[in-house]
Amino acid sequence: MNLKLDNWKKTVPVAVLIILVSFVLSNFLSTGKTQKKASVKKSVKQIEKIEVKNVENKINIAATGRVNVYNKIDLYAEVSGVLEKGSKEFRTGTEFLKNQTILKVNNSVAKMNLSAAKGNFIKLIATVLPDIQIDFPESGKLWENYLLNFKIEEELKPLPEIKNPKERFYLAGNNIYNQYYSIKSQEETFKKYSLKAPFNGTLSEANLKEGTLVRVGQKIGEFINTDKYEIELSISYSDSRFLKVNQNVDIQIEETGQTVNGKVSRINKKIDQNTQTIKIFITSTDKNLKDGMFVPVIIRTGELSESVKISRKLLTKENKVFVVENKTLKLVPVNLIKVEGEKAIVAGLKNGTILLGENIPNAFEGMTIN
């Protein structure tokens, strides 16, 4: 009996200890779950929403292009000879007025050959003149005056007008026409020994110096007119609908911080197959522009009322956006007006409409959100 009492006394404290430990563990686990739930609750992300407020948005088109002079010609030699000095030195940066001689090629040999050809032509006319006066007396005086007024140092004058077919055949049979047009060809070639400025401009490239032998087909230099410049831009086809010829643009010169004026001069109707863009051309007469510089161009096409600017990421491929109605997502089509970088200008949404302001993975129409 005493043995049983002793065992009971030993068992009670152990049982009490087990109960206490169980109670403590239960409270700890309960507290942990509560804290975990609280932690989970705190980590719930709030969905960003945007309230639509239609305003007037400026429609600008921005692009960068290279400045080129409007008039630029490459100078090639069409005759051979030694390069001589023109009205000024043939050096890069030299300015010439229209019709001033840019360069000359020594023409002494060509001049003598041309004079010799004219001398033979005079001899030929003198030879056939007696026969013309006998067979075609109505033209005799005309050819006599032509011969008397002939001057070798001057450009060949037109032949007398022939009305009689037989006379024309006679002249052709005696090589009058053949020699005449041969000399006219030589005269045209002779003019190429001297090159005159087609417009006011600057010699932007000079590849030869005075005294150098010039060969036919050799590039001599480059001549530019700095009174007018042109900028070629590539823009998206969708932006082309905002453009028209003679539209004003702003040309930014980043090196000096200046903004100068220009105009849209031409719009290409063909789309580049590789870039899906079209070419437009801007002209300007501002002296601050220089050939070869790259400049940003801003084309201000006007303002669009009742539109809103949103992130491009909110648009679907079908140009739709998610709106929130009664905590439910709904897809609504919009009119995409213009894309500007990461932003898009859209129309067709009413003021007060709540847009889903962020991308939700796998979002779908009818999805419920908090």
Tokens coding 276: 């899906």
The per-residue pLDDT for 330 is 87
Residue 100 has a CB neighbour count (10 Å cut-off) of: 14
Reported as type and span, the H/E element at residue 289 is: none
Q: Among candidates 279, 348, 214, which has minimal Cα distance to 68?
A: 279
The per-residue pLDDT for 26 is 58
Report the distance separating Cα 295 and Cα 252, nearest Å. 6
pLDDT range class, residue 278, cuts 50, 70, 90: very high
The per-residue pLDDT for 16 is 52
CB 302 within 8 A of CB 61: no
- What 3-state class would DSSP assign to 7? helix
Check whether 36 has a pLDDT greater than 80: no
* Phi, then psi, of 148 in degrees rounded to 5: -70, -35
Q: Please report how many Cα atoms fall inside a 13 Å half-sphere around the Cα of residue 330, on the Cβ side.
A: 9
Tokens coding 207: 């590849």
Check whether 35 has a pLDDT greater than 50: no
Q: Among candidates 244, 226, 229, 210, which has minimal Cα distance to 81?
A: 210
CB 77 within 8 A of CB 217: yes
The per-residue pLDDT for 41 is 36
What residue has token string 């037989």? Answer: 166
**Contacts by 361-366 with C-beta closer than 8 Å and gap 24+?**
363/322, 363/329, 364/329, 365/322, 365/329, 365/330, 365/331, 366/328, 366/329, 366/330
Predicted model pTM: 0.62
Q: Encode pLDDT of 300-352 as tens digits.
A: 877 777 788 888 888 888 888 888 888 888 888 888 877 777 888 888 888 88
Range of 3-12, 15-24, 26-35, 118-127 with top mean pLDDT = 118-127
- What 3-state class would DSSP assign to 243? coil
Tokens coding 95: 């300015």
pLDDT range class, residue 236, cuts 50, 70, 90: confident
